[in-house]
A and B are shown apart, each in its own frame.
Chain A
Amino acid sequence: MTGLGFVWKNLYRKKTRTFLTFFCLYIAFLLYVALGSIAVVFSVDTISGELGANRLQTSAKYSMIDDIPKRYVDEISQLDGVELVTHMSWFGGYYKEPNNMLVTFPVDPSTFFRVYPEYEISDEHLTAFLETRRGMVAPISLVERYEWKVGDIIPIGSQIYPQEDGNYIWEFELVGSYTPDQDGQTAVLLQYDYFEEATAFGKGAVGWLAIQISDPQLAPELSQQIDSMYINSSDPVRTATESESNRQFLAQYGNITLMMSGILLAVFFTILLVCANTMAQAFRERIAELGVLKTIGFNDYRLGLWMLSEAIWLSVIPAVFGVLIGMGVLFMLGSSGATAMFVPTPPMSVVLSTAASSLGLALALGVIVGAIPALTTTRMSIVDAMHA
């Protein structure tokens, strides 16, 4: 039997208490990984990165789901400082099942990939997209997930737009794929011209504009200029930098990051208490035994280290289980396609870093909770311990 064996035997002594502590910590870490990963995705910085700095986004002033006239594209293109304008619309797409939401945007293929250079597409696929009226391109991850092939006719339902014959199920030809800058991005792109021709309503309107500007410094000035151009029209707009728009969009959900941080903080404060209580009890019942071990000749530091490692195991074991199961849940959510654009699946890298930080947290928790019993063990005199 080694020191490790000794620590294990001690954890095993009070099976119910150890199990309850494990269970409590397991749930906490599961929550931490799941919510923590989602919170990261919701934080604006992750979404917009640096690329959005020279892009403005223009949408209907009072509601993001209102349309704006398509002619705004040409009009705004004329402004000094504006390099290129492209537009997108919310198609309300789904694949096979209405609850299997597919983020789908009718776009202008000739400008979209120039305004979003971080979305990589081969010349061949781009040309095919430009030349095929019913063409669509999809992110490579989606193509792989559904095992689509170039040339396939893909039926995509719309929750919003019927075709002129009243049919809500549209058919598009997959002509290529593109690589988004983030794992989380899953938009299917369609030709706006075809959409406009075939749709029963919504002709001449687009969802929102993405405007590439020559200098990020011009953003405030241009935003104001654009907004004032339409302020007295029937379709006023609101323009902001892309990151600002994202921030406003996410603000609709309240401050999710803050809310989740609050929940997680409360959870961790609770498990800190649970864990500290377990260790304090474990220590108190064992003072006399520690005195015996010291009498026999076990070194003060060695016993302190045993106490510390017991606390670390107590928090790390359930953390490992919680983290693994939490990751499993996230991947299941991701691959079921249950998540929509608005509740993005955290990318692998985010999940992994959250997992790593939870294990670090578990280690820290063990050290914090074990520190006092360990130090007391080391310092306690044998005579005092034996009298306890």
Chain B
Amino acid sequence: MAFIELINVVKNYTKGSEVVHVLQDLNLSLNAGDFLALMGPSGSGKSTLLNLIGGIDKPTAGRVVVGGAELGGMSSSQLAKWRSESIGFVFQFYNLLPFLTAQRNIELPLLLTNLRGAQRKENAMTALRTVSLDDRAKHKPGQLSGGQQQRVAIARAIVADPQILVCDEPTGDLDRQSAQEILELLEILNDRFKKTIIMVTHDPLAAEHAKKVLHLDKGVLVESTEEAVSA
């Protein structure tokens, strides 16, 4: 079995009496160390798919197996623990806590470990150095640019050393230059730190940084052709 395996996954949402069919009989397998760009029109279910892989949502039918863990069979507490150890999340709007410094934000996932305060701080500083922001440790999110905030968010995603990074439009809110820096950073994390990365993006240039591109349309995955990428 592959490192990440989705088998016959169906995902529906019920809005009142109406059922929204988001994913239909979807299959996907990824190997450890992959860097996948997931493209597709808005509303096609990209975030939904990412949420299933990241264990923050459950499929209506089918199986999601990540790193040998059968996510469908886990309780919400088990899933929470699993996420804290296995997955790092990066969002479009950074989602840092505004009242905590960069360093404290990065330390958050470590509150769920047995690490002592001093060790937590050291690990947070190491993560900050990895994203080249160690001089901003004491800054609050409001005092940082969008690109810097996203780098802090990436530092938070990697601080507990998960094997998988799940990124939902990580450059969607950034200017070209900052986006470029974020994408290079993700490449380094994939190449040098062997993180498996699944990144949702609208941007074909962003997708070029990935090793593999998949297109999601009307709930069905298709291997991307050159035209699709550059469309």
Residues of A within 8 A of B (CB): 1-2, 9-10, 12-13, 288-289, 292-301, 381-383, 386
Asked if B84 CB lies within 8 Å of chain A CBs, one says yes
Interface 1/0 per residue, B76-110 and A, CB below 8 Å: 11001111110001010001010110001001110
User: A14's closest neighbor in chain B, by CB?
Assistant: B99
- A–B pairs, 13, beta carbons within 8 Å: A1-B111, A1-B117, A12-B99, A294-B56, A295-B56, A296-B89, A296-B109, A296-B112, A297-B109, A298-B84, A299-B80, A382-B56, A383-B51
Residues on B with C-beta less than 8 A from A10 are 99
Asked if B181 CB lies within 8 Å of chain A CBs, one says no
Residues on B with C-beta less than 8 A from A301 are 77
Interface residue ranges of B47-81 to A (CB < 8 Å)? 51, 54, 56-57, 76-77, 80-81
Residues on A with C-beta less than 8 A from B156 are 296
* CB-based contact A296/B100 at 8 Å: no
* CB-based contact A300/B80 at 8 Å: yes
Residues on B with C-beta less than 8 A from A1 are 104, 107, 111, 117
Chain B interface residue number, banded:
20 to 34
Instruction: Indicate which residue in B80, B99, B107, B117 contacts A294 across the interface (CB closer than 8 Å).
Output: B80
Residues on A with C-beta less than 8 A from B54 are 295
Cα A297 to Cα B57 in complex, Å, equals 13
Residues on B with C-beta less than 8 A from A297 are 80-85, 109, 112
**Best-buried of B51, B85, B95, B156 by chain A (most CB within 10 Å):** B95
User: B79's closest neighbor in chain A, by CB?
Assistant: A297
Known: A292-B95, A294-B80, A381-B57. 7 other contacts (CB 8 A): A9-B100, A289-B95, A295-B83, A296-B108, A296-B112, A299-B77, A383-B56
* CB-based contact B56/A300 at 8 Å: no
Interface 1/0 per residue, B185-207 and A, CB below 8 Å: 00000000000000000000000
User: A300's closest neighbor in chain B, by CB?
Assistant: B76
* CB-based contact A298/B99 at 8 Å: no
Interface residue ranges of B105-151 to A (CB < 8 Å)? 107-109, 111-112, 117
Cα A10 to Cα B109 in complex, Å, equals 18
Residues on A with C-beta less than 8 A from B112 are 296-298
